[in-house]
Chain A
């Protein structure tokens, strides 16, 4: 591809995709959406994952089935 080809492609691209205006701004205030996103993130962090609940349930079933292991668990806590 020579320099002329390159310039022609550049012109074609510019005419196909006109530049965005310099002062483009969002049509709405985005701060409330950012706050909602932060709140959702915080709530998600405070949610216990299902795997942790399953692990706890399994441990409870094990301890109930084998009560003699309770002192061993307590020792390692």
Chain B
């Protein structure tokens, strides 16, 4: 994410902090794609990702007077996006999200291995959806999307060690759930 940061008074970030709508639009144009991509990685639903991108920029605008222009905009926007996505994940019922169909419908870099039986993929997706949202977020960002632990930690507002712990707990719970469903990974 480009940050467009500047500590010069009158810069884009200063004008945004002062409530300038044009500056906000310029920042929106610059950051909407990375924010959308980050949210999509977390929620894995294109319609929800679009709505949450709007929600994120609304929250960003509401918090403009708390923004510190000496710091970059990108990581700040990503933290707000992460909180919006986590709120959405917490509100979802496991039965209606993250099904194998939804995973297959995403704009992905690879369609996955077709040799894996559809049933196993479906059960894995369901088991993953049953994980607590905080573990899901850490696992999907660190394992599936292979984002650096440092970036995941910054977005989630936790330490790198906590990210590793959440990923480990997510994988362990996932394995237990799959074993309960009759699948031995």
Question: Which residues in A have some Cβ–Cβ distance to B below 8 Å?
Answer: 1, 5-6, 8-10, 12-28, 30-31, 33-34, 37-38, 41
Tell me which residues across on chain A come within 8 A of B133, comparing CB atoms.
none
* Docked complex Cα distance between A22 and B38 (Å): 10
- Of the candidate stretches B5-13, B71-79, B104-112, the one touching chain A is B104-112
Given known contacts A8-B185, A9-B185, A24-B40, A19 and B107 CB-to-CB distance under 8 angstroms: no
11 example contacts (A-B, Cβ-Cβ < 8 A) are as follows A5-B175, A6-B168, A16-B100, A17-B140, A20-B107, A24-B37, A25-B33, A33-B50, A33-B54, A34-B61, A37-B54
CB distance from A16 to the nearest CB of B (A): 4
* Number of chain B interface residues as a range: 35 or more
* Docked complex Cα distance between A1 and B177 (Å): 13
Tell me which residues across on chain A come within 8 A of B55, comparing CB atoms.
37
A20 near B108 (CB under 8 angstroms)?
yes
* Docked complex Cα distance between A41 and B98 (Å): 31
Give chain B interface residues in 41-57, CB to chain A under 8 Å: 41, 44, 46, 49-50, 53-55, 57
Kindly state whether residue B149 has any CB partner on chain A within 8 Å. Answer: no
* Docked complex Cα distance between A17 and B99 (Å): 9
Interface string of B103-134 (1 = CB under 8 A from A): 11011111111001000110011001000000
Given known contacts A13-B174, A34-B54, A26 and B144 CB-to-CB distance under 8 angstroms: no
Tell me which residues across on chain B come within 8 A of A24, comparing CB atoms.
36-37, 40, 107
* Docked complex Cα distance between A76 and B176 (Å): 67
